[in-house]
Amino acid sequence: EIVMTQSPATLSVSPGERATLSCRASQSVSTNLAWYRQKPGQAPTFLIYDASSRATGVPARFSGSGSGTEFTLTISSLQSEDFAVYYCQQYNNWPRTFGQGTKVEIK
């Protein structure tokens, strides 16, 4: 099983500032990596696929990068709706696995 590790666990950022989230895989997943945002009480929503492609309707302030075992999600200018929990997930191998999540909170 591929273990996905996200850091930091919590990120405190002021509105309008930049946030950088990291995700590491225990073995290579190529670029078969997705990012999700989950707001309280809601299902996750799809942000990034193939490590760096934005899903339909996702604002340009979200960008993803990386390949192999190291990945990054950057939110260039945090909006109020971006204060949430973010998960990375690999879909290179079965079982599919998620990171434990990074909570982005208001500083």
Partner 1 sequence: EVQLVDSGGGLVQPGGSLRLSCAASGFSFSSYIMNWVRQAPGKGLEWVSGIVGSGGSTYYADSVKGRFTISRDNSKNTVYLQMNSLRVEDTAIYYCAMHNYGFQYWGQGTLVTVSS
Given the rule CB under 8 A, which residues bind partner 1? 1, 34, 36, 38, 43-46, 48-50, 53, 55, 85, 87, 89, 91, 94-101
| CB atoms closer than 10 angstroms to residue 5 | 13
49 versus 83: smaller Cβ distance to partner 1: 49
- CA distance to 2, 60, 85, 91, 99, per residue, from 19 (Å): 26, 14, 12, 24, 17
Q: DSSP code of 50?
A: T
21 versus 48: smaller Cβ distance to partner 1: 48
10 versus 45: smaller Cβ distance to partner 1: 45
Closest approach of partner 1 to the CB of residue 106, in Å: 20
The radius of gyration of the chain from alpha carbons, rounded to an integer in Å, stands at 13
Closest approach of partner 1 to the CB of residue 53, in Å: 8
Q: DSSP code of 27?
A: S
Closest approach of partner 1 to the CB of residue 23, in Å: 13
> How does strand 10-13 pair with strand 102-106?
parallel
Closest approach of partner 1 to the CB of residue 104, in Å: 14
